[in-house]
A and B are shown apart, each in its own frame.
Chain A
Amino acid sequence: METAIQVRSVAKTYAEGAVRVAALHAVDLDVYRGEVLLLMGPSGSGKTTLLSIMGCILRSSAGSVQIAGTEVTGLNERQLPRVRLRHVGFVFQAFNLFPTLTAEENVEVALELKGIRGTRARNEARRLLAQVHLADKCSAYPADLSGGQKQRVALARALAGDPEIILADEPTAALDSHTGRAVLELLCELAHEHNRAVVIVTHDSRIVDLGDRLVRLEDGKISSVERLNHRLPSMPPPGASSPYPFARL
């Protein structure tokens, strides 16, 4: 399978005054296109930090990160947003929709950032909203949508410009279990049927069966990697040439 994200020996240390807090220690991880990778762990284990680094929102203190084959570790503040824009779609726990824009306009903002404007953007926004089963809510404002619908709008926005990576931070935390599951099924569909790499940070153990791999983090380190779904035949088999054991699982 094609590697979408490659993380090598990534460490992250936060400095607050004289105090230094290590959030990640030498993390190695590969994320493949077409898979749903779940990142789990207790609060403060480094899940969101790792997600932020994989999304080029945060810079690692050490190690290297490749996004769609591009080494991003040395990129500056002007270059990193371009990588995010081109390769990564984000889904946030609190949806982070623009409350003053309609569902369609929320998606159009992301499309505009990617250079798609006017009628083309409108048509594409409608298509994406239809893809997340919200074709009838194009003109609705976020305040008029349910939590699940908001998250699906956020998902449509994340899909704008067809990024190969979707990073979702606790996408079901603000949703009831039924709605949350529906959103996750949508994310799985995007991974499996549209060959995207989907990384989901979650606390919700009830959704584990939907992922392909489960990576557990503890104290900034990967404590375990479980292969949950055997529908990934082209993944490198255990013992193959990759020196990174977690990447092979």
Chain B
Amino acid sequence: MPPLARRNLFHDKIRLAVTLTGITFAVVLVVVELGLFLGFSTTTSSLIDRSGADLWIASHRVPYIEQGAPFSERKLYQVRATPGVAYAEKYIARFAGWKRPDGGHESVQVVGFNFADAADPQRAMGGPWNLASGSVADLNAPDAVLVDDLYWKKLGVTRVGEVFEINGYRARVVGTTHGIRSFTTSPYIFTTFKNAQDFTNLNEDQTVFILVRAAPGMNVQQLQHNLQSRLHDVDVLTTSQFSSMTRSYWMFTTGAGVAVLLAALLGLVVGIVVVTQTIYATTMDHLREYGTLKAIGAPNSYVYRVILQQAGMSAVMGYALGITVSMFVVRGAEHGGAAILLPWQMAALIFGLTLLMCGIAAAVSINKVTHLDPAMVFRN
């Protein structure tokens, strides 16, 4: 087939640049907004998803992880005594006040986990990940904490070994993690369960959560049911249930996620409008040629194919440019407070959306060409 679509597309370089800019802009906008949504969504539940636990036991009707209320740690023994439980540990995730060296105060979320099992991957639950400096073993001190390097500036940390105050208790930075973001403005501070009890003013016999790992071969839903029937005043949730509840709360109940999703949708709409306008204008430029094609006997399907090929080529080139720019944006965001995620599934989805966007744009042009009177070729 003579390369009519390709030549038409590349013939007017300025129009091509405008078309590709429109598609690239739309792709970047959608990647950033969807990536932010995904980043926020992942961030809200990262403590749960990375806990390594199969089940979470929380106070009755806790809607999300930050809202956990203390309960007696005696329940831990009931849990451990339940058949099918391999390991169960106390866990704290609670807000506390961080005092900066300059006297300023910041809110933090203290995460306390069972330090003793941290070195054993079979038993470790709820510990930090992405350690950038120091080790979990360094937490073996009454004041030791790990701070994520994204929040050093916010918390006034300048080096490992510095000493701060959390709710009036001495806290010494013994290491750093990298990229563990908090959805709230309060950074996570990892420490031992015992330290966390102090930092969050809990009584010695209190915990906020119990993390449970099922024995090999044990059905998690069945274990959940068994535990729920044994324990009172607490909820037993699978990790995915609790993760989903937390994400749903932050993303939809607070409206934050809806705003980001709407922005992504807006990006898509803006993209469709820009691309439709440019592809339509390109079609208008070549209307006489389409009229000639129809006059010499080309069926509508042939003309549609030319327009769709133009739109498809625009989509592929615009997507390639857009995704390249987006990767730089994603890379740049790695050092910021808001995570923009771009997994391959989302990249594939956005490629599909780009094709759809250009398809819609082509459909508008096709509608015009369908009603084109081939007798126009005789009018000058």
| Those of B244-302 within 8 Å (CB) of chain A | 288-289, 292-299, 302
- Mark A157-175 against chain B: 1 for CB-CB distance below 8 A, else 0: 1100000000001000000
Which candidate, B4-12, B130-138, B163-171, is the interface stretch facing chain A? B4-12
| Stretch from B16-24, B181-189, B372-380 forming part of the interface with A | B372-380
A82 at interface by CB-CB < 8 Å: yes
For A85, give its contact among B2, B288, B296 (CB under 8 Å).
B296
Please determine whether A112 and B1 come into contact, CB atoms closer than 8 angstroms. Answer: yes
Those of A110-151 within 8 Å (CB) of chain B: 110, 112-114, 117
Assuming the A-B contacts A57-B374, A57-B375, A109-B293, are A100 and B288 also in contact, with contact meaning beta carbons closer than 8 angstroms in the complex? no
**CB-contacts of A80-114 with B (<8 A):** 81-82, 84-86, 88-90, 92-94, 96, 98-101, 105-106, 108-110, 112-114
A109 to B374, CA, bound (A): 17
Query: Is B298 touching A113 in the complex (CB atoms < 8 A)?
Result: yes
| Residues of chain A within 8 A of B4, CB atoms compared | 98, 100-101, 105, 109
Q: What is the CA–CA distance of A114 and B296 in the complex, to the nearest angstrom? A: 10
Smallest Cβ-Cβ distance to A95: which chain B residue: B292
Write out the residue numbers on chain B whose beta carbons fall within 8 Å of the beta carbon of A113.
Answer: 293, 296-298, 302
* Min C-beta distance of A95 to chain B, whole Å: 9
**Residue A112 contacts which of B2, B292, B295 (CB distance < 8 angstroms)?**
B2
Give Cα A235–Cα B10 distance, bound, in whole angstroms: 52
Contact present for A78 and B299 (CB under 8 Å): yes
Residues of B within 8 A of A94 (CB): 380
Bound-state CA distance A99–B11 (Å) is 9
Chain A: residues with Cβ within 8 Å of the partner, total of 35
Are A52's CB and B378's CB within 8 A? Answer: yes
Q: Which residue of A lies closest to B292 (CB)?
A: A96
Residues of A within 8 A of B7 (CB): 98, 100-101
Q: For A106, list chain B residues within 8 Å (CB).
A: 2
The CA of A112 and the CA of B380, in the complex, are separated in Å by 27
CB contact under 8 A between A84 and B375, given known A96-B288, A112-B1: no
Question: When chains A and B are docked, how far (Å) is the Cα of A78 from the Cα of B294?
Answer: 11
| Complex Cα gap A221–B297 (Å) | 28
Contact A110/B1 with A94-B380, A100-B7, A100-B11 known, Cβ cut-off 8 Å = no
In the complex, A96 Cα to B289 Cα: how many Å? 7
Interface centre among A86, A96, A99, A169 (most CB of B within 10 A): A96
B167-210 CB contact bits vs A (8 Å, 1 = yes)? 00000000000000000000000000000000000000000000
Contact residues in A for B293 (Cβ distance below 8 Å):
109, 113
B378 contacts which of A48, A98, A105, A157 (Cβ < 8 Å)? A48
User: Cβ of B296 and Cβ of A157 under 8 Å apart?
Assistant: yes
Q: Which residues from chain B contact A93 at a C-beta distance below 8 Å?
A: 378, 380
Alpha-carbon distance A218/B292, docked complex (angstroms): 28
Say whether, besides A93-B380, A112-B2, A82 and B292 are in contact (CB < 8 Å): no
Give CA–CA (A47, B174) in the complex, Å: 94
Decide yes or no whether A58 CB sits under 8 A from chain B.
yes
A57-83 with Cβ < 8 A to chain B: 57-58, 78, 81-82
Q: Does A208 sit at the interface, judged by CB under 8 A?
A: no
CA A99 to CA B296, docked complex, whole Å: 16
- Measured between C-beta atoms, what is the minimum distance from B291 to chain A in Å? 8
With both beta carbons as reference points, the residue of chain B lying nearest to A125 in the complex is identified as: B2
Known: A57-B375, A169-B378. A117 touches B1 (CB 8 A): yes
Which has the most chain A C-beta neighbours within 10 Å: B2, B3, B8, B298?
Answer: B2
Question: Which of chain A's residues have a CB closer than 8 A to the CB of B299?
Answer: 78, 81-82
CB of A184 closer than 8 Å to a CB of B: no
Does A51 have its Cβ within 8 Å of any Cβ on chain B? yes
Asked whether A98 and B297 contact (CB < 8 A) given A90-B377, A112-B1, the answer is no
Which interface residue of B8, B295, B302 has the most chain A CB atoms within 10 A?
B295
Q: Are B377 and A92 in contact (CB under 8 A)?
A: yes
Closest residue of chain B to A93 (Cβ to Cβ) is B380
B370 — nearest CB in chain A belongs to which residue?
A77
Measured between beta carbons, the chain B residues less than 8 angstroms from A100 are 4, 7-8, 10-11
Chain B hits for A108, CB < 8 A: 2
25 CB < 8 A contacts A-B: A51-B378, A57-B295, A57-B377, A81-B294, A81-B297, A84-B295, A84-B297, A85-B297, A93-B378, A93-B380, A96-B288, A98-B4, A98-B292, A100-B4, A100-B10, A100-B11, A105-B2, A105-B3, A105-B4, A108-B2, A109-B293, A110-B296, A113-B293, A114-B297, A117-B1
Given contacts A82-B299, A92-B378, 10 further A-B contacts (CB under 8 A): A57-B375, A57-B378, A90-B295, A96-B288, A96-B292, A96-B377, A99-B289, A100-B8, A105-B4, A113-B302
